[in-house]
Amino acid sequence: MTFRLMCVAILIIAAHLLPTDAAVRVWGLRAFNLDGDPIGPPDPYVKVSCGSTFSGMTDFRQDNANPTWSDEFNFPKCKAKDILKLEVWDKDLIYDDQLGTCTLKVQSGTQLKLDCIVGRGSLSFSYLLK
Ligand code: CA
C-alpha cells in the first residue's frame, strides 16, 4: 500500500470515529416546571440512551425547575425503530430521584422540539436520524 493510500484509509477511518458522524443526534434539552424536592426546586439532570447504548448525561442544574442544557448526544449505531430514552433525574445527597422518563421510537429525519410529560412538568428536545 502506498503512503498516500494509507493516508486516505486513515482519514476514512477517522471520519467514521468522529461524533458528528453519528446516526442519531440529540440536542436542545430543556425542561419546564420540574417538581422534585419537597422544598424548593429540584436539581435536574438528564441521562440519554438509544437502543442498548448509553451516550451520557447532562450536568445537573442546582435549584432549577426550568433548566436548559447545551449538551449533544450522539449514537453512531442507533437506527430507525430503536428506542430513544431520556431519563430526567433530580440530584440529591444520597439517592437521586427519577422525575420521569421519555421514550420514543426513532424515525428518520429531523424532529424539532418534541415535548414529553415529566411529572407535572415537561422535557423538550430535538433529534435527528441520518
Ligand atoms: Ca435535589
Which DSSP string do the residues of 60-74 spell out, in sequence order? Answer: P-TT-SS-B----EE
Ligand 1: centre distance to CA 4 (Å): 56
Residue 35 belongs to a domain: yes
Residue 92 belongs to a domain: yes
Residue 2 belongs to a domain: no
Residue 103 belongs to a domain: yes
Ligand 1: centre distance to CA 39 (Å): 9
Render pLDDT for 72-86 as a digit per residue (tens, 0 to 9). Answer: 999 999 999 999 999
Q: What is the pLDDT of residue 96?
A: 94
Q: In angstroms, what CA-CA distances link 23 with 41, 68, 96, 117? A: 35, 24, 31, 26
pLDDT band of 15, cuts 50, 70, 90: low
Checking if the pLDDT of 21 tops 60, the result is no
Ligand 1: centre distance to CA 100 (Å): 14
pLDDT band of 39, cuts 50, 70, 90: confident
Residue 6 belongs to a domain: no
Q: What is the CATH number of the domain that holds 105?
A: 2.60.40.150
Higher-confidence residue: 55 or 126? 126
Ligand 1: centre distance to CA 36 (Å): 7
Q: Which residues constitute the domain of residue 27?
A: 21-129
Checking if the pLDDT of 14 tops 80, the result is no
C-alpha to C-alpha distance for 15 and 17, rounded to whole angstroms: 5
Structural domains counted in the chain? 1
Ligand 1: centre distance to CA 126 (Å): 25
Residue 1 belongs to a domain: no
Render pLDDT for 86-113 as a digit per residue (tens, 0 to 9). Answer: 999 999 988 999 999 999 999 999 999 9
Residue 33 belongs to a domain: yes
Ligand 1: centre distance to CA 29 (Å): 19
Checking if the pLDDT of 17 tops 60, the result is no
pLDDT band of 40, cuts 50, 70, 90: confident
Residue 51 belongs to a domain: yes
